[in-house]
Chains A and B, each alone.
Chain A
Amino acid sequence: MHEPTWFRVLRVVGLVLLTLFVVVPLYVMATSAMKPLGEVTDTFEWVPGNLTLQPFLDMWSTIDLAAYFLNSAIVSVGAAVVSVLLAILAAYAISRYEFRGRNAFRITVLSTQMFPGILFLLPLYLLYATLGQATGIVLYGSKLGLIITYLTFSLPFAIWMLVGYFDTIPRDLDEAALIDGAHPLTALWKVVLPAARPGIAAVFIYAFMTAWGETLFASIMTDSDSRTLAVGLREYSTQTSVAWNEVMAASLTVSIPVVIGFLLLQRYLAQGLTAGAVK
């Protein structure tokens, strides 16, 4: 396709501006993480005077970053694993079976995305507290409670994306296994899942990101033992000062795992997200 000159100019100018918009905050995060405290709290300088890796060492002792990191990791991996497992089962049923209530189920699950979190935050807190008193299973303030909460946040999209993936896998494959006498779950495990591996990985990283970044419920539903990064990182700010270089070093450190995971799998994530809309 021939492109007129104005479009080429627009492309270059547009891409340069967008790149600046995206890169400047990332650059600020990276350079501020390597500045001494005196320099980082002084007037902003584009080019750091002194570079140091000290904030990356100090950040672990200023607050209990390791504990928050571990809590976030346990909660996010737990939520993502369970979310993916539940989504695989549900998506298989929706993709391969015609059953009464199938559409009602889809609508119910997807419409939960619309609820304002603020509407069920307090009732959920009360429900967890009540369940805890009744059964002895501590849900409020515990990592288990957070895992259960967060897995439901990613579950609707996870199911939606996996149905899209499963639908693209020819049914002849699993039907052949069924004709050979395999149980449907065996067909799911042996035939459908291997073919849907990229989709499952994408759903996993999506579920992980959702839990890793969640802030509202973490602010109410965690205590000092279960505090996650979303709440814990605020402790770098005290009444009088903010250790900005350590904040940025910690931000960088906790972002890198999700950013890498996301970039590796974004292609599949995009496919899954649009699967429902593009026909």
Chain B
Amino acid sequence: MTTTAAPPAPGAPRTAPRRRKWTPSRSKLPYLLVLPALIFELLVHLIPMLGGLYMSVLRLTQFFLRDWLNAPFAGLDNFAFALDLDSAVGSALLKSFAVTAAFTVVTVGASWALGVFAAVLLNKSFRGRAVLRALFLVPYALPIYTTAMVWKFMLDQGDGLVNTTLGAMGVTDGETFWLLGNNAFLSIVITQVWRLWPFAFLVLMAGLQSIPADVYESATVDGAGIWQQFKSITLPMLRPVNQVLVLVLFLWTFNDFNVPYLLFDQSVPNSANLLSIHIYNNSFITWNFGLGSAMSTLLLVFLLLVTAGYLAFTSRRMKDA
């Protein structure tokens, strides 16, 4: 993530002289300084990831788990199995992928839109701005399991707030099953948007404050209206912030496991069956870890391709602009 983002040097060129080498006798020091962080990253992320890639070519069922290194080699069978769209496994994976993609597009779009909307509305100082700003950030700070609990409670079919209120207003009959069937999709979307948009707001607010006020002043003198200013100043100036923000929102949402896991317990409806849940169930419920690893590997490859393409595309656009 953010690997090709600009070097994090806010103001560094202004306040600091150019980087230069220290005396050679100290040259081992930087390696020693990054070593502890590197060791832990290797231990928890890189080695297990390589292990996961290796598992994807093994016939790794529960019979071999104790001695997993000696599990029979399966070649690309797991991948062929996962991608065979005629089989139940393949079509289920494709369906889960489609649900995840739709969930990601809707959630990231809505979170970003709410975030930019709130950031623009709160950009000028007025009484109560600090209070609103703090309030809007609370959902992001709440632990996800408490957020999911309260939404689950509100979406309860029998006596929940949502049905009670919608029923009383006459919008629905007040007996909708929000946590079952296709409605489950709406439930994961609203829960994820509720907790994610404040993060977009936080980052965009900081981004807006880095836009100098005199840019807007001269635009006002030139007769540009608020909407024109937003389109021709705010959005272009936010591009570097957006590049990283949208990518982070995308990766978090596409990999999300928590929301459906916490909202639905063991029985996640198909319409909310995100890839992480799907893979988790294929690994830990059916105990076919080789297949689960193959699916995870496909997910990783997909994310790598999207990220690389996205960064190449957005970086070019920023250079052109």
Contact = CB atoms under 8 A, between A and B. Distances in A.
Interface in A245-279: 247-248, 251-252, 254-255, 258-259, 262-263, 266, 269-271, 273-279
Given A3-B226, A22-B135, A28 B154 contact: yes
A96 B9 CA distance: 12
Nearest to A213: B143
Contacts, number: 328
A263 B138 contact: yes
Contact of B145 (A114, A115, A149, A213): A213
Interface string B1-22: 1110111111110011101111
A118 B296 contact: yes
B203 A11 contact: no
B37 A255 contact: no
A15 B283 CA distance: 44
B156 to A, nearest CB: 8
Given A98-B21, A116-B296, A263-B141, A251 B146 contact: yes
Interface residues of B, number: 115
Interface stretch (B45-53, B73-81, B86-94, B178-186): B45-53
B160 A14 contact: no
Nearest to A232: B145
A65 interface: no
A127 B51 contact: yes
Contact of A184 (B17, B29, B248, B255): B29
A42 B146 contact: no
A279 B240 contact: yes
Interface residue range, chain A: 35 or more
Contact of B68 (A107, A109, A126): A126
B240 A277 contact: yes
B44 A149 contact: yes
B10 A278 contact: yes
9 contacts: A22-B198, A28-B153, A97-B21, A99-B30, A105-B34, A120-B44, A122-B284, A168-B12, A209-B141
Interface of A: 1-4, 7, 10-11, 14-15, 18-19, 21-26, 28-29, 32, 41-44, 86-87, 89-90, 92-94, 96-99, 101-102, 105-124, 126-127, 148-149, 151-152, 155-156, 159-160, 163-164, 167-172, 184, 209, 212-213, 215-216, 219-220, 229-230, 233-234, 237, 244, 247-248, 251-252, 254-255, 258-259, 262-263, 266, 269-271, 273-279
